[in-house]
Structure 1
Amino acid sequence: MTRLEGTGDPITRRQLLGAAGTGTAIAAAGCLGGGSEDDTGSGDRSDEEVGEGATNRYGESLVDHPGDEPIAFVDGQHCPVCRMTPASYSGWHCQLAHENGEGAVFDTPGCLFAYYAYQPVEEPVTAGWVMGIEADDLIDATEAHYVLVTDSEATADEPMGPNPRPFADREDAVAYLEAWEAEDLTEEDVISLDDVSQEHAEIYRGSRLP
């Protein structure tokens, strides 16, 4: 169970959400290898190429994305949130596409949550793909059901952990949370992409927000 910094008292996921709402959420775990915030790569847009509507640093790593199907994860791309290389994390990587043909790739769904909550461009997200936690393949990120796993000890080996768990079917998501023993979860802890808020971004990537 996650514990508040400086205390021995365990806290629940809902207490974490409340803490995030007041600006006192625990910062997300650091990177597990690969990349730094100063990295650049051929998959990122140059300053001149970043859309005129970009409003925060996440816009510095936009890529061309037609949105009709997933684009390939390649070494030149960098996650706009943590600057790691999504191609190195095949079990977790994901991507989103905006209506204007721009998009972003992420090493983890936790980073995708942060980006979605703080989108750097005005054009809406029209498509996305995320690795299903049990499907071992990309699923529709806009239709997926996400289990809000937050226990830092149980997810210590994950890149940028903890991360929400994506499922194509809600029934599978509910079955997963019922089997998850690290913390008490209910069906309220299964959300859609449309539900993702800045509070969720604070929980998952509090130290990486724009």
Structure 2
Amino acid sequence: MTERGGLPIGRRGFLGLLGAGTVAGVAGCLGGDGDDGSAHVDGDQAGNSYDPNVDEHPGDDPIEFAETQGCAVCNMTPTDYPQWQSQLAHKDGTGAVFDTPGCLFAYLVATSSDSAVAGAWATDHGTGDLIDATDAHFVVVTDATAADDPMDINPRVFADHDDAVAYLEEWDAESLTEDDIIGLEDVDVEIASIYRGNRL
């Protein structure tokens, strides 16, 4: 159960909020590249947008990753990174796959889809299992020099809050607190920019 404004909300309430946030975020996501041709983030809006890349996603369960799929954000192959891969389903039956949770974050804040999110899944950093990302705990690590991740750096995903706390206590590259553990509903352009600022 997630809290918003001090009030607990269930998974369905979160998905509704996430869908509304996605639609609101998309309104400012259709900008272009900076003068130097690089992607940029202007305030709380992304300059790029990303389309769903799965034509049929049921949304109630994750789909199988296939070698023919490319990440909706970076086009890398998710099956090459089984310990990092993620995916998302929209209520209209489309979806998107990602090689990493960092790309999932970028897609969340910069999707071109106006369909609400029906479900999301990410790989647990400790177990390697694909878990419900709407109930997951993401440790927001930021020191890329201490990470050996695809795409530079990614948040660490955990199904269990205690496992997330244990990880941040072990991560000695930077000082982290429980405030650095977030839910998927907390992802905004600023957080997504930590991981994929060059693609927003």
Report the TM-score, using the length of structure 1 for normalisation: 0.71
8 Å Cα contact 2:52/2:113 also seen in 1 = no
Deviation at 1:161, TM superposition (A): 2.4
* Percent identity of equivalent pairs: 55
Task: Give the structure with the higher percent strand.
Answer: 2
Deviation at 1:85, TM superposition (A): 0.8
The separation in 2 between residues aligned to 1:85 and 1:130, in whole angstroms, is: 15
8 Å Cα contact 2:52/2:111 also seen in 1 = no
8 Å Cα contact 1:79/1:106 also seen in 2 = yes
Indicate how the Cα distance of structure 1 residues 119 and 60 shifts in structure 2: closer, same or farther if over 3 A, else same.
Answer: closer
2:93 is aligned to 101
The separation in 1 between residues aligned to 2:43 and 2:49, in whole angstroms, is: 23
How many residue pairs get matched?
A: 158
| Superposition misfits of 4+ residues, deviation over 4 angstroms | 20-23
1:172 is aligned to 163
Please tell me whether residue 186 in structure 1 is matched to residue 172 in structure 2.
no
The separation in 2 between residues aligned to 1:133 and 1:200, in whole angstroms, is: 19
The separation in 2 between residues aligned to 1:165 and 1:63, in whole angstroms, is: 28
**Unaligned regions of 5+ residues in structure 2, if any?**
1-40
User: What secondary structure sits across from 2:168 in the alignment?
Assistant: helix
Letter in 2 for 1:184: S
Deviation at 1:61, TM superposition (A): 2.7
Deviation at 1:115, TM superposition (A): 0.5
1:148 is aligned to 140
Task: Give the structure with the higher percent helix.
Answer: 2
CA RMSD of aligned residues (A): 1.9
Report the TM-score, using the length of structure 2 for normalisation: 0.74
Give CA-to-partner distance per residue, 1:49-100, whole Å, 9 cap, x none: xxxxxxx641163432111211111122111111111111111101001111
1:70 is aligned to 62
2:7 is aligned to none
8 Å Cα contact 1:21/1:199 also seen in 2 = no
Indicate how the Cα distance of structure 1 residues 144 and 21 shifts in structure 2: closer, same or farther if over 3 A, else same.
Answer: farther
User: What secondary structure sits across from 1:68 in the alignment?
Assistant: coil
